[in-house]
Structure 1
Amino acid sequence: MTQANSRKPRGFFKRFLNSRGGNVAMIYGLAMMPTIAAVGSAVDLTRAMVVKMRLGEALDAAGLAVGGTIGMSNSEMTAKAQQFFYANYPDSELGTVTSLTVSSSGYNNNLVTVAGTARVDTAFMGIFGVNYLDIGVNVQVTRESKGLEIALALDNTGSMASNGKMQALKSATLELINILFGDQNAPARLKMSLVPFSQTVKVDTAQFMNAGWMDTTGQSSSAKLNFDNNKYAFSVWTSMRNSSWGGCLEARPNGLEQLDTAPTAGNADSRFVPYFEPDGPDSSAYSGYTTYLSDGGNGNQDTRLKRSAKYVNQTKTNPNADCNLQKILPLTNNKVQLQSYVNGMVTTGNTHVELGASWGWRTLSPSAPYTEGSQYADPDWTKALVLMTDGLNTTPSNSTWHKSSYTAYNYLIRGQLGTTSASQSETNQNTRTQAACTNIKNAGIRVYSVLLEEDATAAKNLMRNCATDVSLYFESPSASELESVFQAIAQDLSNLRLSQ
């Protein structure tokens, strides 16, 4: 049995080797093996190329998304890259994603690298021991950042003290600063100014006095409206003891408030008149006035108010009433200083949106009184204004002879708003605000407008028309939503810095 079994294989192989058909089949099979291997490998490599192409397309989308941002941390960039990558490379695609990384390098981290790898299983190359192929692709995006100058003109009026609005404004503004500055405390090509406004604005007294921008001699047509005997604010302050100008300003007359006209000696109205709240009549017959001195004589309401002699040797600080708001901070790249100024904002006074718009513009201008701004035609810099308010322009009218409380537009009776009617004066303020916004936009400045907790149609129309485009007009129905509005503005401002 054993011998018989051992002879059978030998017989089989002898017959197989002697078979002409068997030889041909074997030779043909051996000859086809390289071809089969080549075709199979080609199929697997084609599949790998498809994965590489799709991987590259998804990384391109992620790279462009991340490259279109400024001020993000590395973890934030990674999250954004993942969002766009997986939207373009879903799990159903051929290949399994094994890694996705984002890094930045170079000057100001302007070179962003997005790298990804994917693994594709082989269908034929496994016969050679190659069961999968790893594919790697990286994309680099260079962010050539333009210079960006931003003015934040923010409503600091008394109404901002309600419903947590001022705290929400501070938080939202700090968030905007953090997004734009990122981890840089003094970026070379980013500058920002802060313009708190109410019924006036406040400037640095030494800077404005030393530069000759103030009307110190009473030459402006609005300088002597509240004083007799040819007196004016600075001459009255000189007669007082331990009291001086606090830094707040009246609005310039004759349409100059809506213009970027530098203050010069040759144009008296172009210089700035100091804010000086007069002492009102103290007779019980004249209610509704701010009174802090004895009238020093008789007469009608205006005579009593204008009497300049009553200020001599007085130590009162009342002329600076409602001048406790935060000062304007000119354009700066100092992140810490900006944050400090934002935290120092307080609420006071009534709403004059025109002042916020026009003074925001002045901080962006290359001409006096602020000269930190780049030239308007400089292609390497972009200018933007963010104008925010929580309500309509208002005139604090009352039943006195002067018809209102004192503001940057003086008393209503003085006609500085082109009327002595309270309702018409508010309409005129809206018209002046719109004129200021139009002039700002015509200067090439991108205007964002934000309306907080205000449903009035007139306010919505005013702020919508102030914006460069309707897409740059934002409504925040509540204080809690203000931060998301400022985040959206910050992202759009970031995109402005990217060279087109």
Structure 2
Amino acid sequence: MYRFLALVGRFGRDESGVFAVLFGLMAIVLIALGGAGVDYVALQQARSRAQVALDAAALALQPQIFKASYNEETVRAQAEAIVLDRIGDARIDARVDGIETSVPDGSLYLHAEFTMPTMFVSLVGVPALSASVQAKATRKMLKLEVAMVLDNSGSMASYNRMSYLKEAARCATRIMFYGEVDEDCDEADDAEAQDNVKIGIVPFTMMVNIGTQFSNATWLDWTGQNSISQLNFDSDDNASTPFAGPVNRKTLFTQTGTSWRGCVEARRAPHDTDDTPPTTTAALFTPMFSPDTASGNYNSYLSDTGGTCQVKTCTEKTVRKNCSYSWWSGWTCSGATTSTYTKKVGSTTTTPAASCVPANGVVLSGPNTDQSGTTLTTTTTYSLLTQQELQERLCKYNGVTVSDSKNSGPNAYCPSISVLPLTDNVDNVLARINAMNADGGTNIQQGAIWGYHALSSTEPLTQAAPYSSGAVSKVMILMTDGFNEPDYRSYSDTWNGTGIYYSWGFRKDGRLPDTDGIIGNENEYNAHNSKADMSETMDEKTVATCNNAKAEGIRVYTIGLNPPSQATRDMLESCSSGDGYYFFPEDPSDLIDVFTQIANQLAQLRLAL
């Protein structure tokens, strides 16, 4: 007993224990363990905010997957920015590190990791906690809008190309409207066309006919507000003085007893390649009115002295004496030669002593030679006006009758088949395809720009859904068998540099090479002094048009039937939306397979209701 008590006393007197130290160490652990709950609750709260934020990002960005301009990194960065903004805590770091998409399913999947600093468990070596969240938004494509831009030029009449194109376009139409067709590409008897599909047809030759139903549209510049409407017209028979206009084209049609057939000219640059709404003067569309050219030129359908124009002529009469004729040298004269002149301006006639024949004078009649014995009298009548002044006379259109045919007159070379804007009426689409015919030249750019307009909800064509409607797939199918074919003539052949007044007017007008809307500052004569130069510029404008359309989310398929050159092949490839979007069939019959393949792809993008 004594020994036990001694041990107890010894223990009581012992001061070598470390209880305080141990307690201090245990306190850290106890605080960390107790605070872990606080850190965990904070983590769950952050996770909840991150989940809500990622859900919002998925819903907001899901429509992007349907756009041709979709870029995964761009969407990832946008989603990450939304998540960080919604979390609203600068201490929390979040990163979207996974994206999966399915266009047919209309789904966008996002995965994100986030990290937050700890307050308590950092005491035991855990400075931060991490968690992951995921979100998926699904909304299938509800609408499909397709503009089929189809070559109707004269070359399509060869080798049954037009027949095969019609068959291919009809088949594609049925597939997109009905989904399933039989081996003859006919829909089932009880099949119903989907009302979430719209198709438009844009036939093109060297011009595009938009249809006379738009004759009263406010976006048509009938009154000549745009400066290009004044080109090739003048009111004072003096080319050296500027013409301020305006020129009312509706009045010109009325004065000549003709009617507008539906063609429009290319807009002033840069609007000839974009879809800027026609709400300003520069963006208005000019109804095509092919000017009468000076006598002896292409499409000269009026007398240059007709209408209410004054006669302005100089007649030269040359008399040669002592003339004889031989079969080997013709007429030779050894006597005196005298010339007299008669000048006529309106009803006033004068006989000037000196010559009134203008330099490079335009011959109106003659030379006509009469013989009387050994005297030869030669009479030639010249215009006092230049080729330009004769062509630009507005007075010659007043009160005349014009024979307006396919290739002559104010509507020269305007195709007869017009654009069919987007419609969900399958019968109307098939009827417009069946009505197509091959005739005229090739201007791929004008076909492309009107395909672009057809897919826009703003004027001139307004049947499409707005670009902001995410659940719409907008597609252009552009088919041609040719190349951008300008009408080039040398200036020695015709003062205009072109025989035909086409989408950009005459070559001498300088509108084709224009890029900034200021005509005349690109040195057009030198830059476009060959057919190849003009074709190259048309190619560049075609690609620019396609790029503008693609920037709006339009998917562009291009089909070049046996392209005539590598330049055309390159242009069509650049115009398309990339790999899998351009086709170069060699045989006309291959068009059916190509159109069918494209249509089957597009049919998968719409939801059958």
Separation in 2, partners of 1:443, 1:174: 27
- Compare 419-428 and 382-391 and name the one that shifted more: 419-428
State the match for 1:459 in structure 2.
568
Q: Secondary structure at 1:257's aligned position in 2?
A: coil
Separation in 2, partners of 1:359, 1:191: 16
State the match for 1:294 in structure 2.
303
Deviations 1:370-416 (A, max 9, x none): 11111212122111000111121111112311111210110111001
Matched, 1:258 2:344: no
Which residue, out of 193, 200, 216, partners 1:210? 216
CA drift of 1:496 comes to: 2.2
Q: Tell me, yes or no, if the aligned pair for 2:576 and 2:582 is still in contact at 8 Å.
A: yes
Q: Tell me, yes or no, if the aligned pair for 1:226 and 1:306 is still in contact at 8 Å.
A: yes
Which residue, out of 290, 294, 308, partners 2:394? 308
Deviations 1:270-309 (A, max 9, x none): 11111112222224xx5xx122221215332222221222
Which residue, out of 347, 362, 366, partners 2:453? 362
State the match for 1:413 in structure 2.
508
Matched, 1:195 2:206: no
Q: Secondary structure at 1:400's aligned position in 2?
A: coil
Deviations 1:324-365 (A, max 9, x none): 331111110111111111111122322211111111011110
Equivalenced residues, count: 351
Matched, 1:164 2:160: yes
User: Which residue identity does 1:319 align to in structure 2?
Assistant: P
State the match for 2:254 in structure 1.
238
Matched, 1:179 2:188: no
Show the 5 A alignment for 1:97-112: none
State the match for 1:402 in structure 2.
496
Matched, 1:269 2:282: yes
Matched, 1:439 2:525: no
State the match for 2:588 in structure 1.
479
Identity of matched residues, %: 35
Q: Tell me, yes or no, if the aligned pair for 1:199 and 1:350 is still in contact at 8 Å.
A: yes
Q: Tell me, yes or no, if the aligned pair for 1:223 and 1:273 is still in contact at 8 Å.
A: yes
- Please list every run of 5 or more consecutive structure 1 residues that lacks an aligned counterpart in the other structure: 1-142
Separation in 2, partners of 1:203, 1:259: 17
Deviations 1:233-288 (A, max 9, x none): 333223222x1211101000121011111112xx21211111112222224xx5xx
Separation in 2, partners of 1:498, 1:449: 25
* Residues 427/232 of structure 1: CA separation in 2 closer, same or farther (3 Å cut): farther
Q: Secondary structure at 2:272's aligned position in 1?
A: helix
State the match for 1:221 in structure 2.
227
Q: Secondary structure at 1:484's aligned position in 2?
A: helix
Q: Tell me, yes or no, if the aligned pair for 1:185 and 1:335 is still in contact at 8 Å.
A: no
Q: Tell me, yes or no, if the aligned pair for 2:205 and 2:415 is still in contact at 8 Å.
A: no
CA drift of 1:321 comes to: 1.6
Separation in 1, partners of 2:546, 2:283: 19
Q: Tell me, yes or no, if the aligned pair for 2:149 and 2:451 is still in contact at 8 Å.
A: yes
Q: Tell me, yes or no, if the aligned pair for 2:209 and 2:417 is still in contact at 8 Å.
A: yes
Q: Tell me, yes or no, if the aligned pair for 1:205 and 1:247 is still in contact at 8 Å.
A: yes
| Structure-1-length-normalised TM-score | 0.67
State the match for 1:92 in structure 2.
none
User: Which residue identity does 2:155 align to in structure 1?
Assistant: S
Show the 5 A alignment for 1:26-37: none
Q: Tell me, yes or no, if the aligned pair for 1:224 and 1:232 is still in contact at 8 Å.
A: no
State the match for 1:428 in structure 2.
537
State the match for 2:294 in structure 1.
281
* Residues 347/387 of structure 1: CA separation in 2 closer, same or farther (3 Å cut): same
State the match for 1:10 in structure 2.
none
- Please list every run of 5 or more consecutive structure 2 residues that lacks an aligned counterpart in the other structure: 1-138, 179-186, 236-244, 306-310, 312-382, 514-523
Q: Secondary structure at 1:471's aligned position in 2?
A: coil
User: Which residue identity does 1:475 align to in structure 2?
Assistant: F
Q: Secondary structure at 1:476's aligned position in 2?
A: coil
Matched, 1:328 2:437: no
Q: Tell me, yes or no, if the aligned pair for 1:196 and 1:325 is still in contact at 8 Å.
A: no
| Structure-2-length-normalised TM-score | 0.55
User: Which residue identity does 2:289 align to in structure 1?
Assistant: F
Separation in 2, partners of 1:292, 1:200: 20
State the match for 1:133 in structure 2.
none
CA drift of 1:232 comes to: 4.5
State the match for 1:41 in structure 2.
none
